[in-house]
Amino acid sequence: MTEIDIVLKDTHENRRRLVSALDELDARELVGDTEENIDELRSDPDSMGDSIFRTFVTGFGEVDVVLRPAGFPNGYQDLIENAFIATVQDEREPGLTVNAIVADVRDIYKSKQEAGRRKDVQALPAHKIPSVC
């Protein structure tokens, strides 16, 4: 299963669009060990901002929505400066592509270090971080 982290540029329109996409993916919110429907988010997309971190389960894997990742108190605004555009292509349907804004690997590494969660710390050795000159 795949996992993707989304750092939301926290605007009403983006919250609405994200909830619509999650709904299209038949997402369910993971609360503790329980999967719950997203009815509340459908009726009030702005409630997405009630929590700085949410996990959703889809048929494609987990989607973590983070408003302010560890080490980046202004969230999206802090990360966008070093981000880049990547074109992602579907392996099964090569004609299906999407451009995505991707955080710089050094920012991801910093956030994982500062978060200190076991799964993040375990993932750090897999990320070879180039030294900054």
Q: What is the pLDDT of residues 108-122, one digit of tens each?
A: 889 988 888 887 777
Residue 84 has pLDDT above 60, yes or no: yes
pLDDT at 20 over 90: yes
CA distance 113 to 98: 29
Share of the chain above pLDDT 90, in %: 67
- Distance (Å, whole) CA 120 – CA 127: 11
What mean pLDDT comes out for the span 77-105? 93
Per-residue model confidence (pLDDT) at position 113: 87
Q: How confident is the model at residue 132, as a pLDDT?
A: 47
At residue 118, the 3 state secondary structure works out as helix
The confidence score (pLDDT) of residue 116 equals 83
DSSP H or E stretch at residue 43: helix 39-43
Measure the CA–CA gap between 75 and 48, rounded to whole angstroms.
14
Mean pLDDT score of the chain, rounded to an integer? 89
Give the span between the Cα atoms of 95 and 36, in whole angstroms. 34
The pLDDT confidence band at residue 86, using thresholds 50, 70 and 90, is very high
Average pLDDT over residues 68-89: 95
Helix, strand, coil tally for the chain in percent (to 5)? 40, 30, 35
Extract the tokens encoding 87: 């074109």
20 versus 132: the higher-pLDDT residue is 20
